[in-house]
Structure 1
């Protein structure tokens, strides 16, 4: 399940995947990010606090969202990673591209 929170400002979208982010839900994540960008919300934060597992499809969806956000003149950040999700990022060296933030607030501030 993917939730979209637009309460953080007119150009901000917080996307919250819950459970497992696998090929089953990767397309849903892409669609929610695309919807947010189409609405002019170019600052996207993916809050992974309730995502206990992510596979390569989920990671691909996040990278696709990052590319789309940057093409729209914005950015995509990730926050509140669970241990397994952090391990996936580290094993793929994508923690250098998608610098993890401790919370949504930190991601929005750029800390």
Structure 2
């Protein structure tokens, strides 16, 4: 499995454990996150620390899962954007859409302060 899950209290952390996140990882991510949302989880973090590259399908999966989370009263946050991945978010202006954090614990605390 290229993506593994960790649950911290009521927060689902999806760790994308590949250097290149492409179509197959996008489908896996959507499946995992949709399943968690359908099971009542509202707080999702996607950890991209290991990713040096994401393609447009993976970017679309992130947007899709964020929409699904917010539609169900939740939120999705990103952690660990590497420079090339951050550049992709800046180029597409999606850095304005997603809350991003450097460290996982920072992202976890942002949910707990709500």
Matches within 5 A, 1:1-111: 1-6=2-7, 8-9=8-9, 11-19=10-18, 20-110=20-110
| CA RMSD between the two structures | 1.3
Deviations, residues 8-52 of structure 1 (Å, cap 9, x unaligned): 11x210001121211121110100101111222210000111112
- Residue 99 of structure 1: how far off its partner (Å): 2.7
Deviating beyond 6 angstroms after TM superposition, the runs of 4 or more aligned structure 1 residues are none
TM-score, normalised with respect to structure 2: 0.89
Number of aligned residues:
109
Structure 1 stretch 18-27 or stretch 62-71: which is displaced more?
A: 18-27
TM-score, normalised with respect to structure 1: 0.92
Deviations, residues 37-95 of structure 1 (Å, cap 9, x unaligned): 12222100001111121011111001111001111111000001111111110100000
Q: Structure 1 stretches of 5 or more lacking a match?
A: none
